[in-house]
Structure 1
Amino acid sequence: MAVVVWIVEGTWPACVDAARAHALRGAEVVLVHVTPADVPGAAHGAFAGLLGRGDGARDPGTRVEHLAAASADRLLAAAAARLGLPCIRRACTGRAGHEVVAAAAGAEVLVVARDGDRTHLGPHSLGPASRFIVDHAPCPVLLVWPEAAPDIDTIPPPPPQSPG
């Protein structure tokens, strides 16, 4: 049984805690962090566009890539330490939704935290990437609140009914 846990800045502790609480003994736990590819790409493009074909060693995109990789490694290490169980750490680069869905192929469960408006119950509590993941996951999804869930009275009212 594989449990895949999406590790994101700001919400990862709740996902790790849920995985630790719900993973069956002996389950393989995979911690997945995705670094967006567009930030280093923008830095590479800016360097090439503004400074021409100069010294590639000065390309800030390379530095951004290294900083992003180091940040992902630190975050995955912190998540693994909090988990306190043997696990696999996987750092990916690309579109978060697509990378997480691909990582969940063959998993028994995928743990994802709400990352949108966490002051109200409802669909807006999911950001675009987590919405994509929930909609496209090839396995069951354990959707957790990163903090206490809002009160039930925060559910949006139903839409008005048209006279008919």
Structure 2
Amino acid sequence: MTVIVWVVEGTWPACVDAARVHAPADSELVLLHVTGHEVPGAAHGAYAGLLGRARPDRDPGTAVEHLATEAGERLLAAAADRLGRPCTRTERSGRVEREVVAAADGAELLVLARDGDRSHLGPRSLGPAGRFIVDHAPCPVLLVWPETAPATTTLPPPPPRPPHRPPRRH
């Protein structure tokens, strides 16, 4: 059984703990971190805006890419230490939500944490990336709260019911 654990800054401990508890002992565990292109791309673009006066060896986008890669490696190392079991560490880059879905192809389980508003229960507890992944994952998904789940009193109210209308007679 292959279990993919999406490792994200701030929520990864809950995902690793869930994998430790729910993945069978003989599972192949894959810790996945994805670095998005948005920030390095913006730095590359800003530097390119110097209209040819820029020197490629001083492009800050390259430095940002290296920093992001190093941060991802540190995060994966911390997650592997916490997991305490043999695992594979995978670093990908691209559109985060699409890379996670692609990495889950062929897996038997994907573990991820809620990435939206976690102050109350409801659909907004999933951010855009989490919603995309849950909607498009090619395998079962274990969705965890990164901290204690909010009380059930935080459930949003039900939608208003339309008034009852008697059936129409023809």
TM-score with structure 2 setting the length: 0.94
Which residue pairs with 2:96 in the alignment? 96
| Paired positions, count | 164
Give 1:51 deviation, angstroms: 5.3
Aligned residue type for 1:57: D
Distance in 2 of aligned mates of 1:102 and 1:110: 11
- Please show how residues 138-157 of structure 1 align to structure 2 within 5 Å: 138-157=138-157
Give 1:54 deviation, angstroms: 2.8
Which residue pairs with 1:67 in the alignment? 67
Give 1:81 deviation, angstroms: 0.4
Give 1:53 deviation, angstroms: 4.6
Identity of aligned pairs, percent?
71
Distance in 2 of aligned mates of 1:104 and 1:54: 40
Distance in 1 of aligned mates of 2:64 and 2:19: 31
Distance in 1 of aligned mates of 2:51 and 2:27: 51
Which residue pairs with 1:14 in the alignment? 14
Distance in 2 of aligned mates of 1:117 and 1:43: 29
Distance in 2 of aligned mates of 1:17 and 1:53: 50
Give 1:120 deviation, angstroms: 0.7
Unaligned runs of 5+ in 2: 166-170
- Please show how residues 1-164 of structure 1 align to structure 2 within 5 Å: 1-50=1-50, 52-163=52-163, 164=165
Larger radius of gyration: 2
Distance in 2 of aligned mates of 1:18 and 1:58: 43
Distance in 2 of aligned mates of 1:111 and 1:54: 43
Distance in 2 of aligned mates of 1:20 and 1:133: 21
Distance in 1 of aligned mates of 2:55 and 2:117: 44
Runs of 4+ residues deviating >2 angstroms: 50-54
Aligned residue for 1:110, secondary structure, equals strand
Distance in 2 of aligned mates of 1:72 and 1:118: 24
Distance in 2 of aligned mates of 1:16 and 1:25: 14
Aligned residue type for 2:27: A
Aligned residue for 1:33, secondary structure, equals strand
Deviation digits for residues 100-134 of structure 1 (CA, Å, limit 9, x no counterpart): 00000111100010111111111000011000000
Deviation digits for residues 61-116 of structure 1 (CA, Å, limit 9, x no counterpart): 00000000000000000000000111111111111110000000111100010111
Give 1:39 deviation, angstroms: 1.0
TM-score with structure 1 setting the length: 0.97
Q: RMSD of aligned C-alpha atoms?
A: 1.0
